[in-house]
């Protein structure tokens, strides 16, 4: 059962990491325009060799 010493903190840590990532993406406005995001992904305008 010693394996639990590693696995349990790992599981909890992953959960917290997921939550933190979600909160971060929400605060940075990534869920504000879900319709637009699905179109933007097809746009080449953000490629480095072009003007943004």
Question: How many residues sit in the footprint of another protein (CB under 8 A)?
Answer: 24
33 binds another protein (CB under 8 A): yes
Strands (E), the chain: none
Using CA atoms, how far residue 51 sits from 26, 29, 38, 40, in Å, is: 27, 23, 21, 15
What Rg do the C-alpha atoms of the chain give, in angstroms? 18
35 binds another protein (CB under 8 A): yes
10 binds another protein (CB under 8 A): no
Query: Which residues of the shown chain bind another protein in the complex (CB under 8 A)?
Result: 1, 4, 8, 11-12, 15-16, 18-19, 22-23, 26, 31-36, 39-40, 42-43, 45, 52
């Amino acid at each position: 059962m010693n394996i639990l010493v590693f696995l349990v903190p790992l599981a909890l840590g992953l959960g917290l990491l997921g939550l933190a990532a979600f909160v971060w993406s929400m605060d940075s406005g990534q869920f504000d325009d879900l319709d637009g995001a699905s179109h933007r992904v097809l746009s080449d305008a953000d490629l480095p060799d072009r003007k943004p």
